[in-house]
Every structure is written in structure tokens, then in C-alpha cells.
């Protein structure tokens, strides 16, 4: 008699994640000691130029990450750069591996695999002249992309590392006054708890925004149009509405936005549909809308919590840049 057991390990299911531009840089050090250090950097090792071979090995190691680690997703790397930087004052060689691509999963393991392969190659080529070698300080320096944006290792980076790699975070909305409005007859009547609005509030506050206006209104054109005009006059810069963008008879949020709009922002609306469709084909049934009202941008997003979160992830990298353009300020 046999008993079937669930596997004790799983490859992460990333099918529902949205492809984004991702980058990771890993670092580690090779410590050959004073005499061997000079031999390495002067390229006098018996087996050949260790620095050049280490960079080649790092490239190969990054590409083979999924073969070395069983649960690591095979990915199509678009960039791998390996650097070996001598540090004479410590007789060390600092090795960096930078990996980048656009995908549903990150490239941290590829960067770490590249660093390890380069360090082991330095070790292998140096051991004929000095067996007392050490490898130290292997870690992820930083990663960027995905819905979480920039992450930097707690040990930080020095000025040279920041200057060379220029890590980029999501454009912040620090201090920007924002509003979130949920459009729902049932939620406004207290028949069920609004769950989409809080998702948007959390996403905006994560970017540093001041979200003081949080409301639930019944479906309808006039109440929403009146409220949008008032918020624009109060100096609110971003208003994100959720609900009322479908094909039902009471789904009239886009009509309210068009009633008050100074200009439509068709590109952002189409991007919301296109990127959301990577999660579900039902996104093409959404009438998501984006308009400009004075100095305020207004977004009409779908009403489900999951769709609200997806749309927030899609828009987060662009909101700060959109406001900069609206103000005529330079933007990256």
C-alpha cells in the first residue's frame, strides 16, 4: 500500500504577475593575500589572465542559474555585466555582477550565481601560487523593478557603487495631496464593505502621498462630477476612482469624468487595459478612463480589489512623472 504525499517544495507560480523591467546587482570579494594579489592584477598567473577569465565565468554562471538551483525559473537574460575591481589597500578584488531583463520574476539569483562563478574562477586560477585564499562578503547589493520598486541591502552602497549603477526607485509622491473615491450603490448604502478603496489608499501612501479625502459615493454622474470639481479647487493633484467602469446600466464613472475633463489622457487609459489584460482577458471589457481637470489627474479604475491592486502596480512607476509633466517640471 502506498500513500501519496504532496511535494515538500514548489516552484513559485508567477503566471499572474505582470512583466516589468527588473535589475539586480550582486557583489563579493576575493582575498588572495598581498603577494598573490600583485600576481593576479599584474596578470602573471601560470594559468593565464584570471581577471578576464573571471568575467567570462561570471557571464556563464548568471546564464546557468536555473540549472544550478532547481526552483529557480529559467529566464531570458537581456543584460549581464561582470566587473572585477582591485582594492589595493585591502589586497582584495571586488567582483560585481549586474543582470537585467523584463520578466515576471526577478534576477537576484542570476546576479548571485554570476558573482559566485567569477569568484570561484579567481580562486581556481590563483591556487597554484597561493593555497591560503578566501572568498567573502557575497550579497545582493540592490534590486529594482517589480511592484516593490527599489530594495537596497541594509549594508548599503558606497558613492562609487551608486555612481556606477545609479539604482532607480519608483517616482515618489511625497506630500502630494490625493483622493480616493469608491463608486458603488451597495457600498454607499452600507450593504457591503468597500475593499477596493483601501487598496488604492495603501498604494498611494506607500509612494508617500497624502490621502486625506477617502469617500464612497453611489453610482451616478452628477454627484461624482460635482465632487471632482470640488477636489480640484481644493488643490488635490491625484484622484483615483474605483468602480463604475463596466458595461452595466449604472456603470457611468467614465461619463462623469468626461463631463468635467479639460483633457483626456488616452494613453494611460489604454495602458491600464493592455497591461491588465496580461492578468485577465476580461480587462478589455473595462472602460477605464483618465482625464485632466485643472491641475488634477483623475483615474477611473475597475471596482474589484484585485483589479485595483493590479492597476496600482501598473500606474505606480508613472504617477510622479505624469504630475511633473503636468507642472512643466523636468522628469527622468
Q: So which residues are the catalytic ones?
A: 124
Report residue 225 as a C-alpha cell. 462630477
236, 296 Cβ separation under 8 angstroms: yes
Run of H or E including 297: strand 296-301
Biggest distance spanned by C-alpha atoms of the chain: 82
197, 216 Cβ separation under 8 angstroms: yes
Q: 3-class DSSP state for residue 29?
A: strand
> What CA–CA distance (Å, rounded) separates 54 from 296?
53
List phi, psi (to 5°) of 43.
60, 45
Nearest Cα to 51, choosing from 35, 34, 66, 36?
Answer: 36
Report residue 330 as a C-alpha cell. 523636468
> What CA–CA distance (Å, rounded) separates 80 from 59?
6
First to last CA, the chain: 65
Nearest Cα to 26, choosing from 143, 136, 185?
Answer: 143
- The DSSP call for residue 261 is -
Q: 3-class DSSP state for residue 8?
A: coil
Amino acid at each position: 500500500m502506498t500513500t501519496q504525499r504532496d511535494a515538500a517544495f514548489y516552484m513559485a507560480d508567477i503566471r499572474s504577475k505582470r512583466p516589468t523591467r527588473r535589475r539586480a546587482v550582486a557583489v563579493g570579494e576575493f582575498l588572495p593575500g598581498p603577494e598573490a594579489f600583485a600576481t593576479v592584477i599584474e596578470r602573471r598567473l601560470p594559468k593565464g589572465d584570471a581577471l578576464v577569465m573571471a568575467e567570462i565565468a561570471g557571464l556563464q554562471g548568471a546564464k546557468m542559474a536555473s540549472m544550478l538551483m532547481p526552483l529557480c525559473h529559467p529566464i531570458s537574460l537581456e543584460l549581464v555585466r561582470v566587473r572585477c575591481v582591485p582594492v589595493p589597500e585591502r589586497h582584495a578584488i571586488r567582483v560585481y555582477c549586474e543582470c537585467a531583463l523584463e520578466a515576471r520574476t526577478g534576477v537576484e539569483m542570476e546576479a548571485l550565481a554570476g558573482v559566485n562563478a567569477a569568484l570561484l574562477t579567481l580562486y581556481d586560477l590563483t591556487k597554484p601560487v597561493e593555497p591560503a585564499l578566501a572568498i567573502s562578503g557575497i550579497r545582493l547589493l540592490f534590486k529594482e523593478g517589480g511592484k516593490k520598486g527599489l530594495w537596497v541591502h541594509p549594508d548599503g552602497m558606497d558613492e562609487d557603487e551608486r555612481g556606477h549603477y545609479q539604482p532607480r526607485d519608483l517616482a515618489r509622491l511625497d506630500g502630494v495631496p490625493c483622493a480616493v473615491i469608491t463608486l458603488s450603490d451597495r457600498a454607499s448604502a452600507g450593504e457591503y464593505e468597500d475593499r477596493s478603496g483601501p487598496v488604492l489608499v495603501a498604494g498611494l501612501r506607500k509612494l508617500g502621498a497624502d490621502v486625506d479625502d477617502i469617500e464612497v459615493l453611489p453610482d451616478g454622474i452628477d454627484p461624482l462630477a460635482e465632487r471632482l470639481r470640488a477636489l480640484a479647487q481644493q488643490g488635490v493633484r491625484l484622484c483615483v476612482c474605483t468602480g463604475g467602469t463596466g458595461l452595466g446600466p449604472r456603470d457611468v464613472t467614465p461619463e462623469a469624468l468626461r463631463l468635467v475633463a479639460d483633457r483626456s489622457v488616452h494613453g494611460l487609459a489604454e495602458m491600464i487595459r493592455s497591461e491588465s489584460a496580461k492578468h485577465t482577458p476580461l480587462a478589455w471589457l473595462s472602460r477605464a478612463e483618465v482625464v485632466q481637470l485643472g491641475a488634477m489627474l483623475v483615474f477611473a479604475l475597475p471596482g474589484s480589489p484585485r483589479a485595483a491592486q493590479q492597476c496600482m502596480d501598473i500606474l505606480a512607476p508613472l504617477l510622479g512623472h505624469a504630475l511633473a509633466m503636468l507642472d512643466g517640471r523636468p522628469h527622468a
